[in-house]
Structure 1
Amino acid sequence: MSESFQPITIYVDADACPVKPEIYRVAERHGVKVFVVSNAFMQVPQSPLIERVVVSAGFDAADDWIAERAGRGAVVVTADIPLASRCVKAGAEVIGPTGKPFTEASVGMALATRNLMEDLRAMGEVSGGPKPFSAKDRSVFLSALDVAINRLKRAGFGN
């Protein structure tokens, strides 16, 4: 299939994703297909553009499903840094729920930071998790998703 006829697709790592309603709105506006991937049944809007995918409860089953399909012309929404790394390497646009894009340049540092924080937590040096999700994060995410879809359209992807 030639690239100019390859549709844009959004893959959502949905289990802990706080921006699903925003993704649905942007997808409807752009006419883009969304796959909402989770380990358990999840309500999604009735729309031909939105498809629920329930994978097995196996460790990383949702990540593997997304990573096997993500590539050029795809936007992946995830906070999971190893998944983000796999998808960036496959050529996908990857955005965190706070709107932070993952790139070749940033994903290596994000993985290193994640591993360091994991080690520090295991040693009891660090407690607590990420800061609470904010309205500003939601707004930045909406803008980043719009930018990613428009960039793909300019690159010849689309419906």
Structure 2
Amino acid sequence: MKIWVDADACPVVIKEILFKAANRTKIHTTLLANHNMSVLKSPYIHFSQVSQGFDVADNEIVERCQVGDLVITSDIPLASDIIDKGGLALSSRGEVFSKENIKSLLSMRDFMDTMRSSGEHTGGPAPMNQADRQQFAAQLDKILTRHLQSQPKS
């Protein structure tokens, strides 16, 4: 398993949780963004800057992701592509995207896009709070523990 992070919109507090998890589990974690950012110096944490442009980072994540890899993103179309490819997807608020929920989430996203384009003010997501951080950390820990338990003992 590798962890891929859609880092352009990933909150700093979530990156910090990921850095700790990568070092604790020794799972390689790569942040991809279209602008430079600093990451914790570690053999398990990597940064890859992609060129500017619409969905360039998303497309790169889809290309690099393998079956069983985990992608951290709040981008529902990206999560859908990852699920189709056999990967796992987790939002920065701890929502696990799955085959069972991704179609309805895409439909709701498209509906909200239609509402916004017609002039409706739908507001953005609520600010990230402590419960969101705890939910993310708990779901990440659950996914990583399941992965580590499935590995053969050496």
Please report the TM-score for the alignment, with normalisation by the length of structure 1. 0.90
**What is the deviation of 1:158?**
9.6
Match of 2:3 among 7, 10, 15: 10
4+ aligned runs moved over 3 Å, structure 1: 154-159
Q: Distance in 1 between matches of 2:153 and 2:102?
A: 26
Cα separation, 1, equivalents of 2:18 and 2:152: 18
**Letter paired with 2:101:** S
- The one-letter code sitting in structure 1 at the alignment partner of 2:35 is A
Residue 63 (structure 2) aligns with? 68
SS state at 1:37 partner: strand
1:139 paired residue number: 134
Number of matched pairs:
152
Aligned: 1:111 with 2:106: yes
Q: Residues 153 and 47 of structure 1: is their aligned pair in 2 closer, same or farther, counting only changes over 3 Å?
A: same
Q: What is the correspondence of 1:1-159 to structure 2 with a 5 Å cutoff?
A: 8-18=1-11, 19-156=14-151
What per-residue deviation string (whole Å, max 9, x for no partner) do you get for residues 101-136 of structure 1? 000111111111000000001112233111111111
2:116, 2:122 within 8 Å by CA — same for their partners in 1? yes
Query: Would you say the 8 A contact 2:112–2:122 is kept in 1?
Result: no
Q: TM-score, length-normalised on structure 2? A: 0.93
Q: What is the CA–CA distance in structure 2 between the aligned matches of 1:158 and 1:9, rounded to whole Å?
A: 19
Match for 2:139: what amino acid?
Answer: A
The answer to whether the Cα contact below 8 Å between 1:75 and 1:149 also exists between their aligned partners in 2 is no
Q: Which has the higher contact order (CA 8 A, sep 6+)?
A: 1
How has the CA–CA distance of structure 1 residues 74 and 150 changed in structure 2, closer, same or farther, with 3 Å as cutoff? same
Q: Which runs of 5+ in 2 are unaligned?
A: none
- CA deviations over 1:18-74 (Å, ceiling 9, x no partner): 111111111111111010100000010111111110000021110011011213231
Calculate percent identity across the aligned residue pairs. 36
